[in-house]
């Protein structure tokens, strides 16, 4: 078998066989296939696409390129969720404890933030003492013990994806839905959970800009999961404005705490309620999604979700006094108010601009080696649909940097105002199962 023949076959629009796909993934993972041939195949896939069975074979080959976590020693149904990335997305820190408090076993591997999107691991590390580097044995023991653990992906999980993802980033092949879907699902499947809920975001702050493209990606990923015998479902959620009010690591942790104490912003509460209801149905802890949603609401009202959050951090070394007393989180030296210079109604908030601005204030990283200022970020005071009067505070920028006037201007420009009142947008637009 020759790699050039595989490239030409896909270039000409033909489906690749399971053997050809495994030959490519195995050879590229071992360094036997050079980058220039891998990039040629990726470009051919971008233009020609892949059939459902091809994508499933590619996902399975990537999944088995490294370790596959065996969670069979954890009792009960193991649930997981994945977000395609957004701005202000602290969902895992709210949703995870809630479904765990309702009896589900959440064994989750998460990532770090890069660019305008935040990462769950960075948010967790804003609580002093917290470790996200767990051994597989400790990870499994913790899920059995308290029903939840969140850790970083190990180096041995899906090495094929690491190589191919880096290559796609520099060869203009990131936008291929078969490659996006296989990248996400190979990691999720290698993590060992029985069920997966995908939160596929669309809008200005998401990778998928339209509802139609997000639905295509969601449908592809659900198909992959189903073909590999995992209960996989997806919700399509709005990222045309940041999720909640807080953007930035410590700021988002404080909002997660408030949400679990019954004081969260409506869009975040709605999202975790719907997602949690689905996950409890997947775990067979609720007969219907609606029954699951009711249990999630009860876990917020009773404080059970917040207690589970404290258990999570305590088990991973975190100082839970910060959860009981969020005022202990250090504040940035500069807190600059962004003031509206006109009356009107907020019609749109550019999530991408807010996410990039938060990164530039110190709350994110442009490269994986950048350090993060955990106190930096942006706290929104207005959301889409809100009435604004001249002189009102639109947002507050938190930073320890000087000379950020251009960033402050970008935050102000991210808010679009109109004289006409607009309706608030629902957070979940569709459900794929």
Q: Which residues are catalytic?
A: 82, 161, 168, 183, 187
- 107 contacts 149 by C-beta, under 8 angstroms: yes
Matching residue, tokens 């442009």? 366
Helices (H), 283-303: 289-302
What region does 119 belong to: left with phi over 0, alpha with psi -120 to 50, or beta? beta
> Residue 304, Cα to own-chain centre: how many angstroms?
24
Bridge-partner residues for 339, per DSSP?
A: 393
- 223 contacts 184 by C-beta, under 8 angstroms: no
User: Which secondary-structure segment (H or E) carries 399?
Assistant: strand 393-399
Q: Side-chain half-sphere of 128: how many Cα atoms within 13 Å?
A: 7
Helix axis angle for 91-101 and 289-302, nearest 10°, is 100
Residues 151 and 148: their CA atoms lie apart, in Å, by 10
Residues 42 and 178: their CA atoms lie apart, in Å, by 10
Sheet holding 393-399, edge to edge: 246-247, 377-380, 393-399, 334-339
For 262-279, b/e burial (b = at least 16 CB within 10 A) is eebbebbbbbbbbbbbbb
Sheet holding 344-349, edge to edge: 387-388, 344-349, 415-418
For 313-336, b/e burial (b = at least 16 CB within 10 A) is bebbebebebbeebeebeebeeeb
> Residue 189, Cα to own-chain centre: how many angstroms?
16
* CB count in 10 Å sphere of residue 47: 11
What region does 129 belong to: left with phi over 0, alpha with psi -120 to 50, or beta? left
For 383-421, b/e burial (b = at least 16 CB within 10 A) is bbebebeeebebbbbbbeeeebeebbebbbebbebeeee
């Amino acid at each position: 078998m020759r790699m050039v023949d595989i490239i030409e076959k896909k270039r000409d629009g033909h489906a690749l066989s399971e053997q050809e796909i495994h030959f490519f993934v195995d050879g590229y993972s071992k360094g036997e296939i050079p980058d220039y041939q891998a990039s040629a195949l990726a470009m051919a896939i971008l233009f020609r696409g892949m059939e459902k069975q091809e994508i499933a074979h590619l996902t399975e080959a990537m999944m088995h390129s490294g370790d596959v976590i065996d969670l069979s020693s954890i009792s009960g149904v193991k649930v997981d969720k994945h977000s395609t990335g957004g701005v202000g997305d602290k969902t895992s820190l709210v949703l995870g404890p809630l479904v765990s408090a309702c009896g589900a076993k959440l064994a989750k591997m998460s990532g770090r933030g890069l660019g305008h999107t935040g990462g769950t691991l960075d948010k967790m590390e804003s609580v002093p003492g917290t470790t996200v580097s767990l051994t597989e044995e400790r990870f499994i023991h913790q899920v059995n013990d308290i029903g939840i653990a969140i850790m970083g992906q190990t180096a041995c999980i899906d090495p094929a994806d690491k190589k191919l993802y880096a290559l796609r980033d520099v060869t203009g092949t990131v936008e291929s839905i078969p490659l996006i879907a296989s990248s996400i699902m190979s990691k999720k499947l290698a993590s060992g959970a029985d069920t997966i809920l995908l939160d596929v975001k669309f809008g200005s702050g998401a990778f998928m800009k339209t509802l139609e493209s997000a639905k295509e990606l969601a449908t592809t990923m659900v198909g992959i999961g189903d073909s590999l015998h995992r209960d996989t479902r997806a919700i399509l959620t709005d990222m045309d404005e940041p999720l909640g009010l807080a953007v930035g690591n410590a700021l988002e942790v404080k909002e997660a705490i408030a949400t679990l104490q019954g004081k969260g912003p409506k869009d975040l509460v709605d999202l975790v309620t719907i997602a949690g209801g689905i996950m409890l149905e997947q775990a067979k802890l609720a007969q219907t999604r609606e029954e699951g949603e009711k249990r999630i609401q009860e876990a917020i009202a009773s404080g059970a979700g917040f207690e589970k959050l404290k258990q999570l951090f305590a088990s991973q070394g975190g100082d839970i006094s910060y959860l009981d007393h969020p005022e202990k989180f250090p504040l940035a030296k500069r807190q600059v108010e962004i003031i509206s210079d006109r009356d009107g109604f907020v019609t749109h908030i550019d999530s991408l601009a807010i996410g990039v601005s938060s990164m530039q204030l110190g709350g994110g990283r442009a490269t994986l080696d950048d350090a993060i200022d955990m106190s930096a970020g942006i706290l929104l005071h207005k959301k889409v649909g809100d009435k604004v009067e001249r002189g009102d505070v639109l947002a507050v920028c938190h930073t320890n940097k000087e000379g950020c006037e251009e960033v402050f201007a970008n935050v102000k420009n991210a808010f679009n105002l109109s004289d006409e009142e607009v309706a608030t947008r629902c957070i979940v637009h569709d459900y794929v199962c």
